[in-house]
Structure 1
Amino acid sequence: MRRAAWTSAASVGVLLAMGGCAGDGTAAETEPAAGEAATPAGGEAGGGTGDGSGGVEPAVTGTFQDPDGNEVGTVEIGEDDGGTRLSVGVTGLTPGFHGLHVHAVGLCEPDSPNPTDPAQVGDFLSAGGHLGAADADHGAHAGDLPSLYVDASGTGTLEVATDAFTAEDLLDDDGSAVMVHANRDNFAHIPERYAPQGPDEQTRRTGDAGDRVACAVVEEE
């Protein structure tokens, strides 16, 4: 399976024009995936083209909604020589790191059943599991992305490049969605001194990122 290459995070211009990532006007540090090194952003928010694409023409876009139907951000996804580039911007979320993933079904419904387990009902479960979840444990799913940092004002921005999927891959028959979770993602990296038997099934599937708090169906631009 192709492996994602994280290149940069935080402090990019987004459609919401939300300003800097950190409360003091500086770019926030970004939490990389296990085994990956993320490069801290060096510029101020509003960099790139100012259209949220980080200089890449978006091929697919989406609008994040919370479970109450409020619009809380945007995602733009485009292609360049380095692979697929995603630009995410959110506002009104709880400060801290939030798990960020591409999910396999383009359906963002609050209080909905999980398509693989209809007995399980919750916010945005309609989007199914992570893209590529059948191919590997969490941390190596095609849809696994670095965690999104939200500052004290509730604002977060992230730009990341990956070769694990293309924009076209996201437009399959059942579509795809980008999801923000309530908690930080541990990428199933649990040291043996804490879990001698290794991470449990839930951790291997989700990285313990918790509830789904914002969901964006991606559509062709």
Structure 2
Amino acid sequence: MKIWIGVISIGLLLMVGCSGEERSPLETSVYNAEDDKIGTATLTEQPGGVQVKLKVEGIEPGMHAVHIHEFPKCDPPDFKTAGNHFNPLSKDHGLMNATGAHAGDMPNVEADASGMIDAELMLPEAKLKEDQMSLLRKEGTSIVIHSGPDDGMSQPAGNSGERIACGKITLNADEDETSDPTEPDKKQEGN
């Protein structure tokens, strides 16, 4: 009996260990207020947290806040269904706040003159594996781009303006087969 319990325990540990690998990297599509796909966010678990590679187009040139929000809901046009910032430890908002920051707070990104954001960010407290800090806990979370920059201090969201783009972070997020406007069209390349 003890042997069977040991074998089952080892099997469960192996399954849990493998489940983290299946979650990383995870690519999610990002949509604008008109529900058009404008790019992707690729999340990869690393020893220092979760790396976020954000590549989107069609954004007003200038600085923009990017946050992880608490629900995997991106109902246009205002994306309020994404809820508040991902904040499982109930901290104050802001990367410059001595008592912050939310686990979903990230540095501002810049859209270039053509409206392209191509940035790499880190979420040092986040995980993709099962954990209190997992971006995939419960149903998942979302990544939201705002119309303005985050001031790093103001509560509850850094005075960052309207939500202008959103992507659901879920286990099946990478099943979206909508073409990515930031990548060359594969059909046209073959001609």
TM over 0.5: yes
In 2, Cα distance between equivalents of 1:216 and 1:162: 16
In 2, Cα distance between equivalents of 1:151 and 1:132: 30
Q: What is the TM-score of this pair, normalised by structure 1?
A: 0.60
Runs of 4+ in 1 over 6 A off after TM superposition: none
**SS of equivalent to 1:92:** coil
Cα deviation code 1:117-162 (max 9, x no counterpart): xxxxxx1000000000761111100000011110000011111223
Does 2:35 match 1:69? yes
Q: Answer with 1 or 2: which has the greater Rg.
A: 2
- What's 1:183 paired with? 148
More helix by share: 2
- What's 1:129 paired with? 84
In 1, Cα distance between equivalents of 2:110 and 2:144: 14
Deviation at 1:174, TM superposition (A): 2.9
**SS of equivalent to 2:155:** helix
User: Number of matched residues?
Assistant: 140
In 1, Cα distance between equivalents of 2:168 and 2:126: 16
* Structure 2: runs of 5+ lacking an equivalent: 1-22, 95-100, 175-191
Does 2:157 match 1:211? no
From 125, 132, 136, give the equivalent of 1:171.
Answer: 136
* Structure 1: runs of 5+ lacking an equivalent: 1-56, 112-122, 189-202
Aligned partner letter, 1:73: G
**SS of equivalent to 1:210:** coil
Asked whether the equivalents of residues 92 and 154 of structure 1 are also in contact (C-alpha less than 8 Å), the reply is yes
